[in-house]
Amino acid sequence: MSSTPFMIPNPPTPNRAVAFDPEICNGCNMCVEICRSDLLMPNPGKGMPPIVLYPDECWHCGVCVIECRRPGAITMLHPLNQGVSVAWKRASTGREYRPGMAGAPSPNTRPPSG
């Protein structure tokens, strides 16, 4: 039996909390230090992105993304049930519109009834 401690990632989950871009991430581990849920661990390989140990424990607070000093190195992957869709559909045509979309109708400026 080995006396060396080790950690094993939790692979049986389909959840992915964050994704690292190895081309941008320099392995500084600032995200590991700031993570409120302790779901990341430093990669033993120097200059490699951290390892996501417990993706189901992620609160999706985004502190790791905010703390990272290399934009694009970390991407927050929100679960489907937490996705936010800001769109509206015109009842007469069925066409969907999103804020900032070219050709979107002007916002409703009528006061509420009553």
Q: Measuring CA to CA, which residue among 41, 49, 32 is closest to residue 9?
A: 41
- Give the chain's count of helices (H) and strands (E): 2, 6
Q: How confident is the model at residue 11 (pLDDT cuts 50, 70, 90)?
A: low
Q: Would you state the structure tokens that stand for residue 45, as one six-digit string?
A: 């390989």
Query: Tokens at residue 4, please?
Result: 């060396």
Q: What is the CATH number of the domain that holds 46?
A: 3.30.70.20
**The pTM is what?**
0.60
99 inside domain: no
Q: Is 102 buried (19+), middle (13-18) or exposed (0-12) by CB count in 10 A?
A: exposed
Q: Is residue 71 part of a domain?
A: yes
- The mean pLDDT of the chain is 82
Tally the domains of the chain. Answer: 1
More confident residue, 87 or 73: 73
Q: Check whether 50 has a pLDDT greater than 90.
A: yes
